[in-house]
Amino acid sequence: MEAYPLPKQDIEFDSLSTSIQILANPQRLRILCKLGDGEADVQDIADHIGSKQSNTSQQLNMMKNRGILASRKDANHVYYRIQDLRTLQIISMVRDVFCTSPMPYH
């Protein structure tokens, strides 16, 4: 059986579905709200979301591996930023609704 390439629209829907799955996690949403302000290092992000650096790093790496974030290393610090412009647009809308008032972190 010959495999047919997915139409462009199906590929876009697959990409959107992956992004939505990633956004469905409260910790990742908090990270993305922080990164909506611009680039930040792992410790700044961990402090902002009230999480351990190791847990934050796992979430950041997962989003990086999915193409949502990009990173750069400077000395002993790793800085992350939102790479996917569509995710940045979604986060902009989320921030308008949820990130402007203080969020309780549990």
What tens digit of pLDDT does each residue of 5-43 get? Answer: 655 667 677 777 777 888 889 899 899 889 988 999 999
The neighbour count for residue 87, using CB atoms within 10 Å, is 25
Element (H, E) at 39: none
Nearest residue to 60 (alpha-carbon basis) of 70, 48, 72, 47: 70
Q: Is residue 27 situated within a structural domain? A: yes
* CATH number of the structural domain spanning residue 73: 1.10.10.10
Per-residue pLDDT tens digits for 74-102: 999 999 999 988 777 877 887 777 766 55
**For the chain, what is the domain count?**
1
Write out the residue range of the structural domain in which residue 84 sits: 20-99
CA 77 to the chain's CA centroid: 18
Angstrom distance (rounded) from CA 72 to CA 24: 25
Q: What is the DSSP letter of 95?
A: I
Model pTM?
0.75
Quote the pLDDT of residue 106: 43
